Amino acid sequence: MAKFEEISIYDYSLDELKEMLKPSFRAKQVYNWLYKKYANSYDDMKNIPNELKEELKEKYPIDIMQIVKKEQSRDGSIKYLFKLRDGHTVEAVLLLMKKKKKDEDGNIVRSEQYTVCISSQVGCKVGCTFCLTAKGGFVRNLTVGEYIAQIVNIKRDNEIPENKSLNIVYMGMGEPLDNFENFTKAVQIFSDEEGLAINRRRQTVSTSGVASKIKKLGEKDLGMQLAISLHAVDDELRSELIPMNKAYNIASIIEAVKAFPVDTRKKVMFEYLVIKGKNDSIEAARKLITLLNGIQAKVNLIYFNPYPGTTYQRPEEKDMIKFKDYLNDRGLICTIRESKGLDISAACGQLKEKEANGNT
């Protein structure tokens, strides 16, 4: 598949813009319009000379993706389907983690807390059998600008103030580490204090286990958080769920994780998608404790979210609780991820597939 070459203004860091725009102070002005005021047109940039606006319009577009569909859940989560410049679509999700809290006098004592789950690729190479994204195969990597524009569009659409931070998880469509250069540059642009100012500790990359790239990411030492989509405690089942496991087996992933620099205040997150009758037994929980021994780890149990056509089933709540309690009782921190968006197209790739089939 041909590489998508078109660039946008979002592809550039502030330092790069300073080299491109003269006088260089214009770069900071443009950055302010993009990331503090969420401008979606150069015409909105009142303090930028018209001649420069016209040059920027021609060379570095802003409007590089459009919201073509969104679904809002009763729990406040919003699933977005974005259309890209070449006609392909990707998804992102705004998760309302904590609602606004007021005291008896109506004063705000805690503002909303958001996490945004963003995509890395159109389609995916990994081919996980439980994931709807894999159905359409791999098309292309997202550009740096397409990473950035997902967050900007969502903040603009929800009128989230520029000084309101949020968390980013690279956990949407695609494998982030298969788009390594664009993904790592996006991490750095997101964290620029003159831009969106999303601290790298608030950014988490979720990988299906590309062990060589985990090592490479660790060497860059970006200060971000790491999550491993593990989902199984033996190679036989993991290879069924994630065919890439044949190239990067569990042992190679664990070895790479042990070498990864971890913030002492944080732990490596191990995502464990629980599928009824596949990996929800106490025996699996026991093996998981042995597997993660020696790692500063936290396990996040995730309910499998069924979609039309899948043969996998959602686990029983009682089995999830037994699994969690077994780990916690033996000193391995374990939580159950609160299921969000169950009344909308919550499964990754589901909204894209629904739109493609003309369903509403």
| Residues counted in the chain | 360
Whether 204 and 272 map to the same domain: the answer is: yes
- Which residue, 18, 39, 63, sits at the end of a domain? 63
Whether 45 and 121 map to the same domain: the answer is: no
Whether 150 and 275 map to the same domain: the answer is: yes
Whether 36 and 123 map to the same domain: the answer is: no
Whether 70 and 55 map to the same domain: the answer is: no
The answer to whether 6 is annotated as binding is no
Comparing C-alpha atoms, which of 290, 255, 294, 288 is closest to residue 274?
288
Whether 22 and 84 map to the same domain: the answer is: no
- Which residue, 63, 87, 105, sits at the end of a domain? 63
The answer to whether 305 is annotated as binding is yes
Burial status of residue 177 (CB atoms within 10 A of its CB: 0-12, 13-18, 19 or more): buried
**pLDDT tens, the chain, 360 aa long:** 445 567 999 999 999 999 999 999 999 999 999 999 999 999 999 999 999 999 999 999 999 999 999 999 998 899 999 999 999 999 999 999 888 777 787 777 678 899 999 999 999 999 898 888 777 789 999 999 999 999 999 999 999 999 888 999 999 999 999 999 999 999 999 999 999 999 999 999 999 999 999 999 999 999 999 999 999 999 999 999 999 999 999 999 999 999 999 887 789 999 999 999 999 999 999 999 999 999 999 999 999 988 888 899 999 999 999 999 999 999 999 999 876 666 655 555 555 555 555 554
Whether 114 and 257 map to the same domain: the answer is: yes
Residue 258 within a domain = yes
The answer to whether 34 is annotated as binding is no
Range of the domain at 34: 8-63
Residue 2 within a domain = no
Residue 352 within a domain = yes
- Cα–Cα distance list, 24 to 27, 28, 44, 73 (Å): 6, 8, 20, 44
Q: Which of 71, 91, 146, 271 is catalytic?
A: 91
Q: Which of 117, 271, 334, 348 is catalytic?
A: 348
Whether 51 and 152 map to the same domain: the answer is: no
Annotated active-site residue 334? The verdict is no
The answer to whether 131 is annotated as binding is yes
Residue 200: which CATH number?
3.20.20.70
The separation between CA 8 and the C-alpha centre of its own chain, rounded to angstroms, equals 21
Whether 48 and 111 map to the same domain: the answer is: no
Whether 34 and 128 map to the same domain: the answer is: no
Residue 1 within a domain = no
Task: Evaluate whether 81 touches 67 at the Cβ level (below 8 Å).
Answer: yes
Q: How many domains does the chain have?
A: 2
The answer to whether 124 is annotated as binding is yes
Whether 24 and 168 map to the same domain: the answer is: no
The answer to whether 175 is annotated as binding is yes
Residue 118 within a domain = yes
The answer to whether 239 is annotated as binding is no
Residue 3 within a domain = no
